A and B are shown apart, each in its own frame.
Chain A
Amino acid sequence: MHSFTSSFKLKIKIASFVLAFFLLDFSIGKFLEQGLFRYYGLRTDSKIAFVGHSHLMLGLDKKAIEDELKIPVSKYTREGVNVAERDLMIDQLSEENPELEIVVYGVDAWMFTGEGLSANSYKLFYPFLDQEAPAAYVKKEAEFLDYWQHKLIKTSRYNEGLISSSFRGYLNNWDNLKFGVVDTLQLKLNVESGNFRQINSSEENRRIFEETLQKLKEMGKRVILVYVPTISYYNHAEPEKFRKELNYFRSLADKDSNIDYLEYLEGWEDQFNYFFDPIHLNPVGQKAFTSSFATDLKKILQDGTS
């Protein structure tokens, strides 16, 4: 009888421990998810959303744009997202933000290059496994056990980067923290020695991008493609390929009245003190660029043209 009682007590303790784990996991997971929604501007009444990877993330100051335009905007930018992931991000935004009218899509000459961006970028959507579209995407890409671990244990969907973003969401903090200026001497040496990311656009990526633009058009959402400055050393590393990509973006805007294209290269690419590294702006560059972009965006919204 004594043995039965102590064994029963032990089992109750183990069950309590497991329950406490899942309760804590659920609470922390929900808390972090809400913070991320705030940070990325999901589930808001924003009319404009910025979509892109770290290039756009560090290039645009969300608060400054909101102050200038006097409307709420969402900045849903993730490190390392390819065109396929951006398509999914737009689906998420369309589903979660019913007021959305304009998508500002960050573009660059390397966005159709298959290599270099993470093959595991589906992992970026772990925090959104409770939403239908991201869950379906992750299920398709991830291994069985990997998927179910993240589905069942909410805290496993996060890492310190996402936790930091979640807390920044609660603190309304979107500051660019990449202080410092690119080492142009080293960069020049790298480019001369061929040590730089090359432009190798894939037709598959281009097709996905065009399908995203078409989808946005069909949903009645206007598109503004924005080329945030990249440094001249990088832009001129493969001048022909680079020019070809720019011409492609320009042609999209020329062909389709639903698309505007804003390019910030001339007068920007040689402002070396604006760059943290070849493609990312530092806070000084971000401030200057945001100011210029906000003026142009305001003009587009008022005039309906670029």
Chain B
Amino acid sequence: MLFNSWEFVLFFLAVLILFFNLPQRFRVFLLLVASYYFYMSWRWEFGFLMLGVSFSNFYVGKQVAKGKNKGWWMALTSFISILPLLYYKYANFILESVEDVSAFFGKPTALPSLEVILPVGISFFTFQALSYSIDIYRQKIEPEPSLAKFLTFVAFFPQLVAGPIERSDHILPQFKEKKYFNWDEGIAGLKIFIWGLFKKVVIADRLSLYVDPVFDNPQLWSGPTLLMATIFFSIQIYCDFSGYSDMAIGVARVMGFKLMQNFNLPYWSSSIAEFWKRWHISLSTWFGDYLYIPLGGNRVSVPRWIVNIFIVFLVSGLWHGANWTFIVWGALHAFYYLVEFLGKQGMKALGLISVLGSPIYKSFKIPVVFVLATYAWIFFRANSIGDAWYISQKIFQLEGGLWWGSSSVTSLLSIALILMLAFVQFGQYKGLVGMYYRPSKFPAWLSASAFLMLLIGISLFGVSSNAFIYFQF
């Protein structure tokens, strides 16, 4: 059940009406049933997988809280939680990698490949459940006494399949509060939902019409075409993923729940470090809290810190997909991060610290960061390292004609939409246009007119239901 489907609209309306009409004590059960129904509408079997991961973390969390052998209990629940992820997502990748390595050393080995279907959103709910146990282990939170509330926390349908990856100390207390329907909150949530829907069905899905055929057979296309597809993909992945997050935040807000902001205008970052504070914030902070800091963070020697940075980015790449392309994508970002850090240190040593903060330097760096991020997306999107390597070189050879897509009208509209997005985001960057929990500075009638146009835009230009890219993670 996709957010951009009528099935979801009907489902959500039913949940909403029931939610606000049920006594408080039954509401969490409603959310639990609705969340499992939502998840099991993809493949019902995987509902039991999520239930297993949730049970493991709930009961082991209690044992961890008791303090006795908590290290062992923590290791056990981590193993139980990560095992399905390893099997469904990485088993074939590991087998193929073993084949490649053995072939490299002159001893080719044929290993069987597993016929597995990746459960939707497995990386999201695994990380969300695991963060709960780790937080108990660190004595940051107390174990949740209610099984129903904990199961709902892991399965909460707005953010279940593609995030934001929430923390228990942010969501669980919200299940305990009595919610009253509030028109202002409801409308604010709908506005966020509509903006997310627009980004998804009007921009991202339209761009995919150009991007998919080009990236699927890159050798058939000229340098300018590959360049255009790369830029389009950079916008597509942003609109697809941030669109989903917006819809999740919007849906939850209508019901009175506040999810964390997952994107904060990442393409307006003036450094790679800033980019990662603005892109997929819930995942970046997850890796920061549960991987980078346990590794020692930056309170270690410089060589160890460099290793830490690489580990975090490589794991982040691997989290996104079981393919070397994702690992290279992560490594590329680690490389950017470190070069940027060294550059900054060098400028400080040269006494150019005032330059770093100057608005001109900052506005110069925004497009640079966009170009670097876009270049790295080639590895993220390409079907293989070979394709990615080919594209990453070919885009600099501006020979051959530019393909205008199967419909030049569609491609021209795509460019117009990207310009519109940039215009709106400039307004958001400057704090004029409303964004998530920050209201607009424009009069209400103007804001309402803008949303009216967005709705008409979705109706006129919305591309039919395509699944979200991030579901596969």
Comparing A17-25, A59-67, A111-119, A261-269, the segment that makes contact with chain B is A17-25
Q: B183 and A25: CB pair below 8 A?
A: no
Q: B409 and A164: CB pair below 8 A?
A: yes
Known: A25-B459, A156-B460, A160-B407. A10 touches B6 (CB 8 A): no
Q: A160 and B448: CB pair below 8 A?
A: no
Partner of B456, one of A25, A159, A160: A25
B212 to chain A, nearest CB (A): 17
Q: A145 and B6: CB pair below 8 A?
A: yes
Q: CB-CB < 8 A to B452: which residues of A?
A: 17, 20-21, 24
B418 to chain A, nearest CB (A): 15
Q: B461 and A21: CB pair below 8 A?
A: no
* Most A C-beta atoms less than 10 A away, residue of B7, B184, B452, B462: B452
B216 to chain A, nearest CB (A): 15
Main DSSP-derived SS at the A contact region? helix
Known: A10-B183, A21-B452. A163 touches B6 (CB 8 A): no
Q: List A1-56 residues whose CB lies under 8 Å from chain B.
A: 7, 10, 13-14, 17, 20-21, 24-25, 28
Q: A160 and B413: CB pair below 8 A?
A: yes
Q: CB-CB < 8 A to B183: which residues of A?
A: 7, 10, 14
A76 contacts the other chain (Cβ, under 8 Å)?
Answer: no
- How many A-B pairs have beta carbons closer than 8 Å: the answer is 43
Whole-angstrom distance between the alpha carbons of A14 and B462 in the complex? Answer: 23
A170 to chain B, nearest CB (A): 16
Chain B 6-25 against A: per-residue CB contact (8 Å), 1 yes, 0 no?
11000000000000000000
A155 contacts the other chain (Cβ, under 8 Å)?
Answer: yes
A239 contacts the other chain (Cβ, under 8 Å)?
Answer: no
Contact residues on A (Cβ < 8 Å of other chain), bracket: 20 to 34
Q: A28 and B460: CB pair below 8 A?
A: yes
Whole-angstrom distance between the alpha carbons of A47 and B455 in the complex? Answer: 41
Nearest to A146 among chain B residues (CB) is B6
Whole-angstrom distance between the alpha carbons of A24 and B460 in the complex? Answer: 12
Chain B 445-464 against A: per-residue CB contact (8 Å), 1 yes, 0 no?
00010001001100111100
Whole-angstrom distance between the alpha carbons of A101 and B459 in the complex? Answer: 38
Q: CB-CB < 8 A to B187: which residues of A?
A: 14
Whole-angstrom distance between the alpha carbons of A14 and B461 in the complex? Answer: 24
Known: A21-B452, A24-B456, A155-B456. A161 touches B407 (CB 8 A): yes
Q: A28 and B456: CB pair below 8 A?
A: yes
Q: A163 and B460: CB pair below 8 A?
A: yes
B410 contacts the other chain (Cβ, under 8 Å)?
Answer: yes
Nearest to A7 among chain B residues (CB) is B183
A25-B459, A156-B459, A160-B413 given. 5 additional CB < 8 A pairs? A14-B187, A21-B456, A155-B460, A161-B409, A163-B460
10 A-B pairs, CB-CB below 8 angstroms?
A7-B183, A17-B448, A24-B452, A24-B456, A28-B456, A28-B460, A155-B459, A155-B460, A161-B407, A164-B409
Residues in chain A within 8 A of chain B (CB atoms): 7, 10, 13-14, 17, 20-21, 24-25, 28, 145-146, 149, 153, 155-156, 158-161, 163-164, 177
